[in-house]
Amino acid sequence: MKTILRRFASVLSAFVLCAGVAHAIPSPGVQYNPKNKTVQGNQPLSESYPVTITTPNSVAAGSNLTIGFSITVSSAPSGVSEATALSFIAVSPSTLTVTGPSQTKVVTITVTVPEGSFAGDYAYVLKTTGWPTNLNVTDAGTTVNMRVTPNATVDTSPPTVNLQDPSNGETLTYYPAVGPLEIPVLFEAQVGDNGAPVDSMKAFLGSTPLSLTETGLNTLSASATAVATVTAPGIYTISVEATNIYGTGYDSADVTVVVSAPPPSITVASPTAGAQFIYPAGGTSATVPVSFTATSVYGNVTHVAATLDGTPITLSSSGPGTTITSSASLNLVAGDYTLVFSAASDYGAATPVAVQIKVRTQAPTPVLPVVSILAPTVGQVFSRTEGDPATVVNYSFAATSASGPITAVAVAIDGVTQTPVLTGGGTANVTGTGTISYTAGGSHTLTVTAMNADGSASGSTTFSIQQAPAPVCRNLYWLPPISLDNTIEGGSTMPIKFTLTCKGCFVRDTAVLIAIYEIFADGSFGEPVIYPYGSNGNPNPPDYAINGQHYQLNFDTAKGVHRYRIEVYRPLADGSFQVLGTKDLLTKGKKGNDRGDCGDHRDRDNDRDWDRDRDDDRDRDHDKDRGKDKDRDDDKDRNKDKDCDRDGDKGKGRK
Which residues in 300-440 belong to E strands, given as ranges? 301-308, 311-312, 316-317, 323-332, 335-345, 348-349, 353-362, 370-375, 380-385, 391-400, 408-413, 416-418, 421-423, 429-438
Distances (CA, A) of 432 to 443, 637, 648: 22, 60, 72
The pLDDT-based confidence of 177 (bands split at 50, 70, 90) is confident
* DSSP H or E stretch at residue 92: strand 89-92
Structure letter (DSSP) for residue 592: G
Residues paired with 418 in a beta bridge: 411
- Is the distance from CB of 339 to CB of 288 less than 8 angstroms? no
DSSP code for 153: S
Within 528-630, residue ranges assigned H as helices are 603-625
**Tens digits of residue pLDDT in 512-529:** 999 999 999 999 999 999
d(CA 433, CA 419): 9
What residues does 152 pair with on adjacent strands? none
DSSP β-ladder status, 104-113 and 45-54: antiparallel
387: left (phi over 0), alpha (psi -120 to 50) or beta: left
Q: pTM of the entire structure?
A: 0.34
The rounded Cα 559 to chain-centroid distance in angstroms is 73
Give the pLDDT band of residue 363 (cuts 50, 70, 90). Answer: confident
**Rounded alpha-carbon distances, angstroms, from residue 133 to 32, 58, 469:** 21, 11, 106
Per-residue confidence (pLDDT) for residue 591, from 0 to 100:
59
- The Cα diameter of the chain in Å comes to 161
- Specify the pLDDT at position 151: 62
Does residue 10 surpass a pLDDT of 80?
no
Alpha helices in 24-161 (DSSP H): 82-87
96-152: pLDDT as tens digits: 999 999 999 999 999 999 877 788 899 999 999 999 999 999 999 999 999 987 765
pLDDT for 13 beyond 70: no
pLDDT digits (tens, 9 = 90+) for 397-452: 999 999 899 999 999 999 999 999 999 989 999 999 999 999 999 999 999 999 99
Residue 466 CA, chain-centre distance (Å), reads 47
